[in-house]
Chains A and B, each alone.
Chain A
Amino acid sequence: MPKIPLIVLSLVVVLAGTGIGVLALRPVRAPVAAPVLPTPEPDTSVRPFRLVAHTGKPFTEQDLHGKVALLYFGYTFCPDVCPTELGYIAKVMRALGPDADRVIPVFISVDPARDSREKLAEYVPLFDKRLIGLTGTQAEIDAMAKAYGVFHQRANVVTKQEGYYLIDHSSSIFLLDPQGHLVDTLDSDSTIPTTVGRIARLLPAKD
């Protein structure tokens, strides 16, 4: 067998082996359950807003200060995804035990035309007494949704019920630290202990 081709062959084998090694060393990515978009911007500045709570009181980003906040955008007519996510938040609140005192869960309606303060008042306590429901004018809601990169749009689908409409919307739970910085989004596919752990790391010291 001629020498040079053998060397070339060896090189090819070595290079191929290295390639395989590199491939094998590449970090194996955990399967991503579902791409959660919009991805929170790296900008962690406090996003101001002014809405009305289901209690009738004005509610701004200042009311979140000093607590870890869980923000979820949805609407009460939402028959499926919103109860799933709010149910998850309620489970997390229960699992937090006494630490839940330093956590504030908030549901922001992207359907202010139908979600009046009164409507929210009969809805949010069914999940958890601590859950705050927020509504406002369409412009106020749009501004807050934009600040958090939340998509919401009346769905272009026709149902048999006259005047009835659905809203397509982003379904993410935003996690804010006690200073009001958006630090992460929570995935309701995560186990409750995993989520509780992520929240616990942000909790402010007890008074």
Chain B
Amino acid sequence: MRCLILLLVAVTMSAADITISAPWARATAPSALNGAIFAAIANSGTTADELTAASVAPTIADHVELHSHTKDAQGVMRMAPVPSVTIPAGGKAELKPGSFHIMLLGLKQPLVEGQEIPVTLTFTRAGSIKAKAVIGTIAASESPAAVSGCCAPEMK
């Protein structure tokens, strides 16, 4: 049943040339103050677009920022806010662990596995696009919708 729900919410949402696929987030610890949303964003157009902002309801988090994550030559992970994420023409940008992500700051409640976070992504050209991020386990490394055999017993 959960698989079915995940499949339903994983339906891609698009506006003009931008398609947001399988947005997801990780569950958080009960008193966690932040979380991250990931997604693959494809641009089928002939002009690059920029993801410039993301927002969630104030009941979910105080602030939302776009962040990047980089591993330097010394193996040190550094995270920092970025003004935008480019979606190249005919290409895609992957918001994924260890890379770009939508950072939720000041969570009002923990992110619970199986629930969804309505999120609005704002692009320079495509405008605002609404999506729903599915919450996977705290240890998830990819979208719950993308995990084949998500309900196999060994994954429990």
- Complex contact B76–A166 (CB within 8 A): no
Interface size class of B (residues with CB under 8 A): 35 or more
Contacts of B4 in A (CB 8 A): none
- Complex contact B75–A170 (CB within 8 A): yes
| Interface presence of A47 (CB below 8 A) | no
CA distance A83 to B106 in the complex (A): 18
| Interface presence of B35 (CB below 8 A) | yes
| Interface presence of B79 (CB below 8 A) | yes
Task: Given A87-B141, A157-B80, answer yes or no on A79-B74 (Cβ-Cβ < 8 Å).
Answer: no
CA distance A170 to B74 in the complex (A): 8
Choose among B36, B65, B69 the residue that contacts A159 (Cβ–Cβ < 8 A): B65
| Interface presence of B1 (CB below 8 A) | no
| Interface presence of B11 (CB below 8 A) | no
CA distance A151 to B75 in the complex (A): 9
| Interface presence of A46 (CB below 8 A) | no
State the interface size on chain A (CB cutoff 8 A). 37
- Complex contact A87–B138 (CB within 8 A): yes
- Complex contact A169–B36 (CB within 8 A): no
- Complex contact B75–A83 (CB within 8 A): no
Task: Given A155-B79, A159-B65, A170-B75, answer yes or no on A80-B29 (Cβ-Cβ < 8 Å).
Answer: no
Contacts of A15 in B (CB 8 A): none
CA distance A194 to B11 in the complex (A): 35
Contacts of A157 in B (CB 8 A): 79-81
Choose among A77, A159, A171 the residue that contacts B75 (Cβ–Cβ < 8 A): A171
| Interface presence of A84 (CB below 8 A) | yes
A interface residues, Cβ below 8 angstroms from B: 34-38, 76-77, 79-81, 83-84, 86-88, 90-91, 94, 119, 122-123, 126-127, 151, 155, 157-161, 164, 166, 168-172
B interface residues, Cβ below 8 angstroms from A: 26-27, 29-36, 62-63, 65, 69, 71, 73-81, 97-98, 101, 103, 105-106, 137-141, 154
Closest 8 A-B residue pairs measured CB to CB? A87-B139, A161-B105, A160-B63, A37-B75, A37-B74, A79-B36, A123-B29, A126-B138
